[in-house]
Amino acid sequence: MKITLHFPNKEPKNEKDLYTKKTFTAPFIPLIVVKTLTEMREQSENNLEQFNDEELDKFIDLICITFVDQFTADDFYRGMSTDKISEFITEFHDKAFNIQRETEGSSGKK
């Protein structure tokens, strides 16, 4: 599993150089993360796209655990693009529970 976060450039040369992208890799999602996600699903009245603040914080903590603390929750909040967050959370959840969704344009027929 991979994630790309944006970090402020300490010495930007221009507007396009304000952030540096860093990609992190996790070889697998630990079983303790899956266990905690299962508990969260059982206790939550919300679906993935409608986490309350506490649920979102806990979910992001699980992401940090999966990536072996290569980045902090604060790094995640500051570096994850708003247009990618829903997609990433869904991907993370699906990978944790081995859910395979059909992508646009695929009908499943050969």
pLDDT at residue 102, as a whole number: 75
- Three-state DSSP state, 8: strand
Q: Is the CB of residue 51 less than 8 Å from the CB of residue 43?
A: no
Residue 25: pLDDT above 90?
A: yes
- Average pLDDT over all residues of the chain: 89
Kindly report the pTM of this predicted structure.
0.84
* CA pair distance 71, 61, nearest whole angstrom: 10
pLDDT at residue 110, as a whole number: 45
Condensed to tens digits (0 to 9), the pLDDT of residues 64-85 reads 999 999 999 999 999 999 999 9
Highest mean pLDDT among 12-26, 47-61, 68-82: 68-82
- Of 37, 85, 43, 42, nearest to 61 by C-alpha is 37
CA atoms within 13 A on the CB side of 63: 28
